[in-house]
Amino acid sequence: MVISATGRSTSRGPKSGRPEPRDFSPGAHRGAGFTLLEVLVVVFIIGILATMFTLSVGLIGGDRRLDTEVDRLIAVIDLAREESVLQGREIGMRFFPDGYEFAAYYEDFNDYYDEDTADQSEWTLLMKSTLLGPRLLPEGLRFELEIDGREVVLKRDDREPSVDSNAAVDSDPQDPDKNDPGEEDRYRPQIMIFSSGDISPFIVQLRREFENRGKFIQFNVDGSTEVTEAFP
């Protein structure tokens, strides 16, 4: 046995030349990392949590496309009010389940009244080439209209007379009454935008098809708006 200068023994005992045995049991190296199964379980749980978070944000944060159409409707009606004031002319508006349109009222000014002269005043549909041309909603969105506390039934068939409002009518000089369109064929706006800037008040709901969730937009006489959530 070798004794060092400090008086301690430096002997390490006999060496056999064989490596020390290792423990290969399942729990021996658990602290060193994760198994493949554990990693897959964690990834699966993270995926479920991410999906739940996305759905919850969608329900709380609202519908971007619906919100965009609400803002667009308010902006377009504001533009119609400005055009009505600048031109000194009334503008009418009609809603359909999937869109809306505008028409301008062109009044016939006569120097004197003549009962034999037909009134040429008429509503003229504003075409797509103008800023107030007909507009369609994106797929899956629908309108519901309420005027004076009563729901207005919106039908796609209402679009047909207005589209042909500028079409020529077969004239018959022998029968002046035939040249005058009947009451059923006359264009009737649902909403009036006056040259003073005022508007006939109404409430329109914009919602997802087959759902009650959406938004109510209330238009007041002075053109101001109030937007509220519509829940099922």
CATH number of the domain to which 130 belongs: 3.55.40.10
- The pLDDT score that the predictor gives to residue 71 is 96
What residues make up the domain containing 129?
A: 65-230
Residue 118 lies in a domain: yes
Total of domains in the chain: 1
Residue 2 lies in a domain: no
φ, ψ of residue 182 to 5 degrees: the values are: -70, 170
Residue 5 lies in a domain: no
Residue 173 lies in a domain: yes
Using the predicted structure, report yes or no on whether residue 82 has a pLDDT greater than 80: yes
Residue 70 lies in a domain: yes
- The pLDDT score that the predictor gives to residue 213 is 82
Average the pLDDT over each of 11-20, 85-94, 166-175, 176-185 and give the range with the smallest value. Answer: 166-175
Q: Which residues contact 168 (CB under 8 A, 6 or more apart)?
A: none
Using the predicted structure, report yes or no on whether residue 176 has a pLDDT greater than 90: no
Residue 33 lies in a domain: no
Burial of 100 (0-12, 13-18, 19+ CB in 10 A): buried
Residue 47 lies in a domain: no
Average pLDDT of the residues in 104-133: 73
Residue 170 lies in a domain: yes
User: What's the CA gap between 75 and 69, in Å, rounded?
Assistant: 10
Length of the chain: 232
Average pLDDT of the residues in 45-53: 85
Using the predicted structure, report yes or no on whether residue 68 has a pLDDT greater than 60: yes
pTM of the model: 0.62
